[in-house]
Structure 1
Amino acid sequence: MNRYLALVTFGFTLTPRLPGFAFNLVGHLITEGVMRGSAKVLLAVLGMMGALQCLAADIALSSASDFTEISLDIKRANEPETQSISLHVTLSPDAQRRMAQVTRENLRQPLKLFINGVHVSTATIQSPINGPGLTIAVPNEVARSLLPKLLEPSAI
């Protein structure tokens, strides 16, 4: 029994980073006859649960069509050495509907946010985002590539 528990823990721990690994491990153990009955099912279920956790939802927004207002906080008086800027946006009705749908359908999953093709952040969805206003912390290194894209004539 200890041997199976160690294998389950090993497979489940690595699954969020390497989903294919867990399925290969499960397949190998089952086809080699190492596991029997409910142990096979338990390991397969744990492997699939871990693999599902690594699936992140993506939302791609365009400053030209998805934002009705944009403003930046580059420096704050109480934080002279910041590692990020604050991007404040108001979503268009269509973008607001998409954001609400994606966040509602992917609770407790990672959400990758792209603006004008730039990966801005990844955060775990804690609750649906229904309102039009968002404040996004953009790391300084990402802001260097995002800001010129926000100022392009097609983005305004």
Structure 2
Amino acid sequence: MPQVPVAQLKDYIGKDLGHSQWLTIEQDRIDRFAECTGDHQFIHVDPEKARMTPFGTTIAHGFLSLSLLPMLMEDLALRPEGLKMGINYGLDSVRFLQPVKVGSRVRLSATLVDVYEKNPGQWLFKTRAVMEIEGAEKPAYIAESLALCIV
């Protein structure tokens, strides 16, 4: 996204910010996330046992899928002119709707829900982020993400 003059930020409220590139969720990424977090539940890391579940294969951790939000938002997020830095401010809500099976391709779609000047030179962005799974009816999750941009 191009940089936007601060005076025009509110013009983007309700606007579709587009889609990220597709990303394939490989077992190696799932295993590395399990190692980092200590969450080695078999549904994520044991293909043999996971084959016996209703999913028929391993699935990504919900928090792995969520942790991809900043990376996938990189090319979608609005940037106010004069941006010095942006920081993750949290989430207002998140709902995991469908697991991401290993080998699935995912992408993020984003819509700006709100933006306002929280403090002088600090703009708080609320973005509705939807992680789509290629070929699936339901998304992996819908989240309201918050980012603080400092100009």
Q: Normalising by the residue count of structure 1, what TM-score does the alignment of the two structures yield?
A: 0.26
Higher relative contact order (CA 8 A, sep 6+): 2
* More helix by percentage: 1
